[in-house]
Amino acid sequence: MKTKTLKDFDVKGKRVIVRVDFNVPHKGEVITDDNRIMAALPTINDLTGRGAKVILLSHLGKIKTEEDKAKNDMSIVARRLAEVQPAPVVFVNATRGEELENAVRDMAEGTIVLMQNTRYEPGETKNDPELGAYWASLGDLFVEDAFGSVHRAHASTVGIPTHLPHCAGFLVQKELEVLGGALNEPKRPFVAILGGAKVSDKIGVIENLLKIADKVLIGGGMAYTFQAAEGKKIGNSLLEADKEDLAREFMEKGAGKLYLPTDTVIANDFDAPTDIRTVKAGEIPDGYMGLDIGEETIAEFKKALEGAKTVFWNGPMGVFEKPEFAKGTIEVCKALAELDDAVTIIGGGDSASAAKNLGYAEKFSHISTGGGASLEFMEGKNLPGVAVLED
């Protein structure tokens, strides 16, 4: 895969459209986590520092109604962006038209224009060709730095670069290098740890990693479908009955490398449990549900991780949002953080939040900024926003 990088272009005086991922969590006007803004700064600072006119485009939230628009107004990001980097920021409360065009025309070198939310345009998510061509007409070069959006073929991710010279920004470049390294030439042993609620969300990634990794450890709610497939008792635990055949197939194909929990923490109620205990996997009484991996499984997973040189982790081992069922996720996170000389990658989403909340974020080689995108990448899928950058 060959994509050009920022360093391949002389950007002085050029109008550079950068697709960033400013889809930040926020409550009203308060941004509750500005990580995504911070993650885009290396690219933005490089461009403004070299005298580019930087036009930033991003979506924020899902937009279906006028109310959604009011809730997901990009001006909150403009304010934060102006605080965290030195270049002047002009916010344009429009996604097309004279106000936007004039703002771009009047830009000085080394300054930033941030456009209103791309999804204010209904054509954005449909990759409307007219919209992609229009946005492209505002710039001389397109830089893709929104890794969290490259699995989507939208006007701002795929439409624009079909009309302009293009390259990957530093964030996308790093994501592709690290995830691509694990997928294509992992240092071995390569261990994948997959958890979370549903098998159906992770089918592709289990399938691909069973081919590539040396071990695949499965925890979280999806493990129970595997146990049900073996005819074991899972009580009221999460089950996707229509995925039992597939689970059986994975167990056959993955024999020797697929690790499932051998014990499980169960409770008599999800919201207000009065009885919490640990039982052998597949021996969950009726009326109880499995909500975390047990001590024995934690020990086995830790052993399976010993000596690992590459680890990819996506999805919690249990209902980690509740302290009673967080131990499996915490212990797996700790074990990864303590690995010596290993490339440790978290594929975004809940496992990334768990690592951050536990204070282990710095201990990982890489925490992906794209949950959905990193999963699709590890499935071996072609990501449209990356494919369009290839030469």
Active site residue ranges: 36, 198, 349, 372
Minimum separation from the CB atom of position 126 to ligand AMP (A): 26
DSSP 343-374: EEEE-SHHHHHHHHHTT-GGGSSEE-S-HHHH
Provide the residue count of the chain. Answer: 391
Structure tokens at 232: 């074991």
In angstroms, the CA 245 to CA 225 distance is 10
In angstroms, the CA 329 to CA 314 distance is 11
C-beta closer to ligand AMP: residue 291 or 308:
291
**42-52 CB burial, b ≥16 within 10 A, e <16:** bbbbbbbebeb
Minimum separation from the CB atom of position 311 to ligand AMP (A): 16
C-beta closer to ligand AMP: residue 132 or 196:
196
- Contact between 143 and 119 (Cβ < 8 Å): no
Residue 200 phi, psi dihedral angles, 5° rounding: -60, -30
Minimal CB distance residue for ligand AMP? 196
Say whether 391 sits in a helix, a strand or coil: coil
Cα-based distances in Å from 116 to 60, 72, 163, 308: 9, 9, 21, 45
Whether cis (ω within 30° of 0) applies to the bond prior to 189 is: yes
C-beta closer to ligand AMP: residue 244 or 350:
350
C-beta closer to ligand AMP: residue 164 or 291:
291
Minimum separation from the CB atom of position 158 to ligand AMP (A): 26
In angstroms, the CA 77 to CA 61 distance is 12
DSSP 48-117: HHTT-EEEEE---S--SSHHHHHHT-THHHHHHHHHHSSS-EEEES-SSSHHHHHHHHTPPTT-EEEES-
C-beta closer to ligand AMP: residue 116 or 351:
351
Minimum separation from the CB atom of position 148 to ligand AMP (A): 15
Minimum separation from the CB atom of position 275 to ligand AMP (A): 16
- CB atoms < 10 A from the CB of 98, how many? 9
In angstroms, the CA 52 to CA 376 distance is 33
Bridge partners of 143, per DSSP, are 18, 167
Minimum separation from the CB atom of position 316 to ligand AMP (A): 5
Q: Report the half-sphere exposure of 63 (CA within 13 A, side-chain side).
A: 22
Binding site for ligand AMP (CB under 6 A): 196-198, 201, 220-221, 238, 290-291, 315-316, 318-319, 321, 349-350
